[in-house]
Structure 1
């Protein structure tokens, strides 16, 4: 009767396994406790990136954390340009022995991306895609979840943005086995749909369609953002930061440098309070800080990718994507007379 068993496709499967790794066990315990302490799932705007399909059929991340689909296309075009023109063995060289024919193919590909909004490309026998990920936070009676003790945070103060990326090169493989806790968390996230007064019906409908077309989810390594408490609610203040220290450094730079520039009406006491708060962040590597009546907190963000039979989800029609490709933008500017002074006759 085994011949009658129909295999379940990878995009409909969550494979659960047991591990004796003590670090994974602690991380699993934290995840379960977080699920109990912060039961509410909250959402920030999506982020975008680019992928390369592996020979095994999984998808490898090339770039991530773009704020719009066009930002991800621009990043992918930059990768292609580097592969086409990078010095052999140099920092921007292709990760294989690229041939002259492949260089020509990647040159043609990045030139297309400078003119066209392409979310799917085949180049030199390889498949590439622009993808989207929801940014999910957890909340509860205690507020919004901060970074967890097991979240990697290796960089020293002031060098958070120099920590190695945890997602560049990460492989999205729906067939990979996960722990029981991670499997339960993925089940929690499968039916997630944006809600709130600011969410349009178009966004909700796209989310419902995405749930049907891409029924499984994959959770990428967590990143951080800075939130501010306003009118009794937490709201995002920054975009994605790879590590907690990168988020602290971003907040410290705002308190020391950008707040005085963006609000010239600040008095000496407020400026001193901002500078003191930045010093506390550096000294304590804190997750929360208050300054001049304002309260800031680092929040833990889980990027969630939807998976369907053709792989990770591409950008949705309702995703904001206002910018044209760079050469199309330049051509449009010239057509209406918006060209740099040194290009005028």
Structure 2
């Protein structure tokens, strides 16, 4: 279907604005250079989480789960937190009861789209990908923000928490080109089972636009000449990754070591450790690289894409898991 320029539905918009700020110009040039150096796109595993609709836009609550049920469990925890943070007054009684009702229901049932205290929530899926070149995966770009000194990062929250999934938000030229590239992207043939491939193709119609999420970073490891993720965790900045990977305890405590002694020794060693500020290093002889992770969410007329039939469901809801054998 064709639309006039001023009649394009919000969920189909890609609004590109070319900035003239020097940092913006350098970032755009940086991206073009990296596309030439790392021309191949390699898809990673999907990531799952939840979002809340606020004033017609969807806001990410949490997006860090490997399976759908992990995302539902995380959403239940979110409602438990809201329940505990809502003062137990008479005027809040109904809201607190609703939070309690929904988190208890999520303990039993695999619900993907609850409405709670007048707000819609949804279990959502996002797709990760990296760019590969002759020397391996793309490392951080020179213009990527990396503000923290070694050992000073805070990894207690995710850089995706609270992000607004807004297809109408203005974007730069290179991000706009990435969005257009991913609009028609689906799982490559023979890369995944037939049902996953079919669901991927179907999503091009049901959710025909994409929104890029903030870039993250992880560790890639070159094992037997092949690069693979060393960790499934994605961090907000390159230094978050370096801090997470730079220190490890050489041996685990034996069963006779008091835990307080082990923790004290760990803290002393950590205080002496000075993590390097580098993107290339070795772990036990294995070449590793801080790797740039890009992520997008598909969007349709009713917001971000939810679960697909072929998505990994994971374990049963926790209350049922205690009563029934895990199907996996």
Give the TM-score normalised by structure 2.
Answer: 0.84
> Is the 8 Å Cα contact of residues 150 and 276 (structure 2) preserved in structure 1?
no
The answer for the alignment partner of 2:262 in structure 1 is none
Gapped regions of structure 1 (runs ≥ 5) = 262-277, 336-345
Return the alpha-carbon distance in structure 2 between the equivalents of residues 213 and 326 of structure 1: 31
Matches within 5 A, 1:322-341: 322-332=314-324
Higher helix share: 1
Do structure 1's residue 107 and structure 2's residue 62 form an aligned pair? no
Return the alpha-carbon distance in structure 1 between the equivalents of residues 30 and 106 of structure 2: 42
> Is the 8 Å Cα contact of residues 155 and 162 (structure 1) preserved in structure 2?
no
Q: What is the CA distance between 1:300 and its match in structure 2?
A: 0.4
Do structure 1's residue 43 and structure 2's residue 43 form an aligned pair? yes
The answer for the alignment partner of 1:58 in structure 2 is 57
Do structure 1's residue 153 and structure 2's residue 120 form an aligned pair? no
Secondary structure of the 1:304 match is strand
Q: What is the CA distance between 1:291 and its match in structure 2?
A: 4.2
Do structure 1's residue 217 and structure 2's residue 220 form an aligned pair? no
Task: Report runs of 4+ in structure 1 exceeding 6 Å deviation.
Answer: none
Do structure 1's residue 285 and structure 2's residue 284 form an aligned pair? no
Give the number of equivalent residue pairs.
303
Match for residue 304 of structure 1 among 273, 296, 303: 296
Match for residue 122 of structure 2 among 120, 129, 135: 129
Which one is further off, 204-213 or 241-250? 241-250
The answer for the alignment partner of 2:136 in structure 1 is 143
> Is the 8 Å Cα contact of residues 44 and 236 (structure 1) preserved in structure 2?
no
Do structure 1's residue 76 and structure 2's residue 75 form an aligned pair? yes
Secondary structure of the 1:120 match is coil
Return the alpha-carbon distance in structure 1 between the equivalents of residues 189 and 244 of structure 2: 28
Match for residue 109 of structure 2 among 112, 116, 120: 116
> Is the 8 Å Cα contact of residues 154 and 163 (structure 1) preserved in structure 2?
no
Return the alpha-carbon distance in structure 1 between the equivalents of residues 207 and 170 of structure 2: 19
Return the alpha-carbon distance in structure 2 between the equivalents of residues 24 and 210 of structure 1: 32
Q: 1:296-328, CA deviations, whole angstroms, 9 ceiling, x for partnerless residues?
A: 111100111111111111122212122111111
The answer for the alignment partner of 1:245 in structure 2 is 239
Q: 1:169-195, CA deviations, whole angstroms, 9 ceiling, x for partnerless residues?
A: 111111111122211111111222233
Alignment RMSD? 2.7
Do structure 1's residue 181 and structure 2's residue 174 form an aligned pair? yes
Match for residue 226 of structure 1 among 208, 219, 237: 219
